Amino acid sequence: MTVLGRVFRSREGLVGLAILLVVAIAGLSAPFVFPNDPLSIVAAPLIPPFTERALPLGTDTLGRDVMACLFHAARSSLLVGLCAAAAALLIGTVMGTLAGFAGGIIDEALMRITDAFQIVPSFLLALAFVSTIGPSLPIVVIAIALGAWADPARLTRAQVLSIRERDYVASARTIGMHPMEIAFRQILPNALPPVMALAAIIVAAAILTEAALSFLGLGDPNIVTWGGMIAEGRNVLRSAAYLSIIPGMALLATVLGVYLLGEGINKTLAGQEAVR
């Protein structure tokens, strides 16, 4: 049975996948189900949910369709989470591979850089970065990735240190293979599985960080996000609590889905290691 099949056979993996599929379908279908600008005013403000057929989740304080905003925000949150995780893993694996394989002064220099990023709380780093450069979706992704790459780098380095002395690596050196080719073609693929298990944690943290930045008004103002929707609803929390509760529940469900899928992957990898 493939690793993917084993993940889906686990209860956590299956539930997490089901939640993420719903969120992904909502995000991907948003341009087709709600083709108009989700930030456009469509009706009177503060229409309660389930009172009008055309507006199932009602409207916000400006008269915008809450359901349209929710669907479009799902796409934004998943895009930020996946792109930030991919960037963090790319930076982390490259840095960790170079540090672990080269050793010596290169290892020391790269690890001190990693320490410098690791001692600063990731949210504060993202907050300072976005505040300095300005809010936009690419800047938010870069800011989140800068605060998330240190852990993959350390884990990759540890894996490379344990692999670089194995027989097949010595054989590659003997036949004259270039050191970078040995590092990235022979060692890195075998060091990746434990590192990839961090992907779910990074995606979940990225989604929460983006929501927090949007809540503080540091998200891209031209894009609908769940954090921005929660922030807009806080001013009318007593009279229209649904404006914050609905995107808050969507955010919670997405992070929970990512976490459960990550747990399924971790259990599968742990089971494979035990068999070996």
Q: pLDDT (tens digit, 9 = 90+) per residue, 95-109?
A: 999 999 988 899 999
Q: pLDDT (tens digit, 9 = 90+) per residue, 137-158?
A: 899 999 999 999 999 999 999 9
Position 249 in a domain: yes
Position 49 in a domain: no
Position 98 in a domain: yes
- pLDDT band at residue 265 using 50, 70 and 90 as cut-offs: confident
pLDDT tops 80 at residue 239: yes
Q: pLDDT (tens digit, 9 = 90+) per residue, 155-174?
A: 999 999 988 888 888 888 88
Position 46 in a domain: no
Position 64 in a domain: no
Q: In this structure, what CATH number is given to the domain that contains residue 153? A: 1.10.3720.10
Count structural domains, the chain.
1
**Across 257-264, average pLDDT:** 86
**Across 59-74, average pLDDT:** 93
The DSSP line for the chain is: --HHHHHHHSHHHHHHHHHHHHHHHHHHHHHHHS-S-TTSB-S-TTPPTTSBTTBTT-B-TTSBBHHHHHHHHHHHHHHHHHHHHHHHHHHHHHHHHHHHHH-HHHHHHHHHHHHHHHSS-HHHHHHHHHHHH---HHHHHHHHHHTTSHHHHHHHHHHHHHHTTSHHHHHHHHTT--HHHIIIIIIHHHHHHHHHTTHHHHHHHHHHHHHHHHHTT-S-TTS--HHHHHHHHGGGTTT-THHHHHHHHHHHHHHHHHHHHHHHHHHHHHHHHHH-
pLDDT tops 90 at residue 267: no
pLDDT tops 70 at residue 25: yes
Position 129 in a domain: yes
Range of the structural domain that residue 113 is part of: 75-255
